């Protein structure tokens, strides 16, 4: 069992739909991440939150909108997605977002997103 929980596990949506992906962790981690992963490829960083504030946005299109309501939750709001956005979306967390921290990231099992 993973300590980072993502819902839903699977999502199929049309290009005009609005949906949200959810991520939750109760390890007290203060850094949370969204990654996009295509099949048999490494995860690509999308966003990083540190202490509930957006720290990094890797030039992600505005059709993806992240939100961090509190230190345990991370959402990714989706709107008007394109077929090429179909992928596995992974959430991760780590203890901190600081040069002195050398701890690994903890990943959820992802949401497999299909855009029709």
Partner 1 sequence: AQSVAQPEDQVNVAEGNPLTVKCTYSVSGNPYLFWYVQYPNRGLQFLLKYITGDNLVKGSYGFEAEFNKSQTSFHLKKPSALVSDSALYFCAVRDGSGGSYIPTFGRGTSLIVHP
Q: Catalog residues that contact partner 1 under the rule CB under 8 A.
A: 2, 4, 6, 40-43, 45, 48, 56, 90, 92, 97-99, 102, 104-110, 112
Token digits of residue 86 = 């179909």
Least distance to partner 1 from the beta carbon of 50, Å? 9
Which residue number, 55 or 82, has a Cβ lying nearer to partner 1? 55
Least distance to partner 1 from the beta carbon of 34, Å? 12
Q: In whole angstroms, what is the distance from residue 60 CA to residue 16 CA?
A: 18
Which residue number, 45 or 80, has a Cβ lying nearer to partner 1? 45
23 close to 74: Cβ distance less than 8 angstroms: yes
Which residue number, 81 or 91, has a Cβ lying nearer to partner 1? 91
CA distances from 92 to 28, 39, 111, 114 (A): 13, 18, 12, 21
């Amino acid at each position: 069992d993973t300590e980072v929980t993502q819902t839903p596990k699977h999502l199929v949506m049309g290009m005009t739909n609005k949906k949200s992906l959810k991520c939750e962790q109760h390890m007290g981690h203060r850094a949370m991440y969204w990654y996009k992963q295509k099949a048999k490829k490494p995860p690509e960083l999308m966003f990083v939150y540190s202490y509930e504030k957006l720290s990094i946005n890797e030039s992600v299109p505005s059709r993806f909108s992240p939100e961090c309501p509190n230190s345990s939750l991370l959402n990714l709001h989706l709107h008007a997605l394109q077929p090429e956005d179909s992928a596995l979306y992974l959430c991760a967390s780590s203890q901190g977002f600081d040069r002195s921290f050398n701890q690994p990231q903890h990943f959820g099992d992802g949401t497999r997103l299909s855009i029709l």
